[in-house]
Amino acid sequence: MASYRAPLDDIRFVVNDMLNFTDHYATLKEVEQVDRETFDLLLEQGGKFCEEVLHPLYRSGDEAGCEFDGGEVRLPAGYREARARFVEAGWPALTARKKWGGQHLPRSLAIAINEMMCATNPPWVMLTGLPNGVMMAMEAGGKASGDDALEHRYFPGFVDGRFSATMCLTEPHCGTDLGLLRTRAEPQEDGSYRLSGTKIFISYGEHDCAENIIHLVLARLPGAPSGTSGISMFVVPKFLVDEEGRGGARNAVSCGAIEHKMGYAASPTCVMNFEGAVGHIVGRPNEGLRYMFVMMNDARIGSGMAGLGLANASFQGALAYAKERLQSRALSGAQNPDGPADPILVHPGVRQLLLTQKALTEGCRALVLDTARWCDVADYGATQEARAFAQQRLGLLTPIVKGFVTEVSNEVVSHGVQVLGGHGYIRESGMEQLMRDCRVTTIYEGTTQVQAMDLIGRKVMLDKGAALTSLVADILAFCDAHVAHPRVGAHAASLRNKAQEWHQLAAETGVAALNAPDEAGAASVDFLMYSGYVVVGFYWLKLMLAAEEKLAAGGDPGFCHGKFKAADFYFRRLLPRTLSLAVTLRAGAGSLMEMNEEEF
């Protein structure tokens, strides 16, 4: 199994040198302030936990998998102990409000640490990450209804680690189309509800690592409208919980089976049966999907981070191997004359794979961490205007983080297998596990195709391009300010052209879709990928400038020049992918939609 070292210097470079999180935190209201020393300390502690506790369990958990026996699920050896250490260290309390026992630190801090957890044991992260999203969704419902009684009942248990959580959305017949769901919720005289139905693909729906499992369930009330406008959200515990948060009798919810998956073998994906289970409505009737989207959007960013973490782990393993593996001689002459062959790092084909890994991973890290910064502003910005703008920017970036980052992460982990060749294909190297686990990141929380339609349909067309126009304006202004810069100028000019074309492609697609709605769907995935390459290019310009300032201040020359050269590679070798994307974007829906079913 490949070794892993927490990329502390790279994360610090983004949050300190490029994004300046310390000044960012000073602009927030309500949330606790975090200085650089505290951030560094928590980052180091998180990295140590990942290296020493999570990473050793990654392969063993994959090989052992989960055991299902009569409705009970046992996680692999070591998982229970790892969660206990996680709770003991206070990690579940990191971002929770103080009134529930939390530390109320900014969400961006947790997201930064989450990269390392995803890199070392992504199946385990599903167990510990879900309660945060559940609390966000329940809090949104509580604000809408003006009732926080359920928060008082459940949140302390999430924060002190007694409770874990799930999100129960889809059913066997509906997939992503939640408007088709059939789970029913019958009102009772005491104000509770009885839920009946079956949910599938429920991560950690049953396990042996917490006192109680709290399910957030989408269901229909009697007489509710059809489609998504008739969905309500309910909280349904495995064991009934009284108003003081104390556990009671077993509820009528059970695990009927666990799925046998391509990856994430240590994370039980459960079929959950609700047979008149007692639950309580969250928020107002028929508004459940709106509250659940709060959790889903957070999970979409988490899926992007999972892809990023796995990509970084693959790059680390591939780079270490390329430096040590001796094979053939360099085309320019022997580089290791005293040995039987040269390290494969000298070969252009291998370097292309490694530089693609490095440029995509580091550019995507900047994108994800800046998206995390917008999460903070949306939650705790100093003014209503700041929060509204952050929400708009966050809405545009989220499908790019979820869709683009996970897609290129799959490319990166595939390159990791390729660098190791035959050794990458066999289990002992650990690279094939990274590839299997990364594959689901493009599926979780809505496939890439769903994210693409969300981006072009809801985030661009529905607001008449306002969010996109705003981001493009920022990119153009930045490029104009640096077009004469000796190191950055040529890349700034190139990106300026791409940003203008991005805006034009959105307009062309919108006009085409007015006459033929399939045009939006036909262009959507290419538009998503084009968007990702432009946005990551924007962050690479910022990373170059930050590296230049760091170098001038006495920073490590190797580190800084590595950023310059990775950026050069990105702009010369990866950003040009937009050329073919622009062509396919403009190709129209005809070649996709004209073929009859019989002609396939």
Q: Which residues does the annotation mark as catalytic? A: 445
Place of tokens 């997201």: 111
Q: Are 104 and 31 in contact (CB under 8 A)?
A: yes
Q: Who contacts 138 (Cβ-Cβ below 8 Å, separation ≥6)?
A: 150, 151, 154, 155, 216, 235, 282, 291
Q: Are 105 and 293 in contact (CB under 8 A)?
A: no
Identify the burial level of 493 via C-beta atoms within 10 angstroms of its C-beta, where 0-12 means exposed, 13-18 middle and 19 or more buried: middle
Q: How many CB atoms lie within 10 A of CB 391?
A: 16
Closest CA to 130 of 444, 450, 391: 444
Measured distance between the N- and C-terminal CA atoms of the chain, rounded to whole angstroms: 43
Identify the burial level of 78 via C-beta atoms within 10 angstroms of its C-beta, where 0-12 means exposed, 13-18 middle and 19 or more buried: middle
Q: Are 277 and 251 in contact (CB under 8 A)?
A: yes
Longest dimension (CA), the chain: 85
What's the CA gap between 158 and 137, in Å, rounded? 13
Closest CA to 380 of 137, 110, 105: 105
Per-position DSSP letters for 25-75, written without gaps between them: HHT-SSSPP--HHHHHHHHHHHHHHIIIIIHHHHHHHHHH--EEETTEEEP
Two structure tokens written together for 283: 């928020």
Distances (CA, A) of 248 to 237, 259, 364: 10, 29, 45
Closest CA to 215 of 248, 181, 176, 252: 252
Place of tokens 């509204």: 388
Q: Who contacts 140 (Cβ-Cβ below 8 Å, separation ≥6)?
A: 283, 290, 291, 294
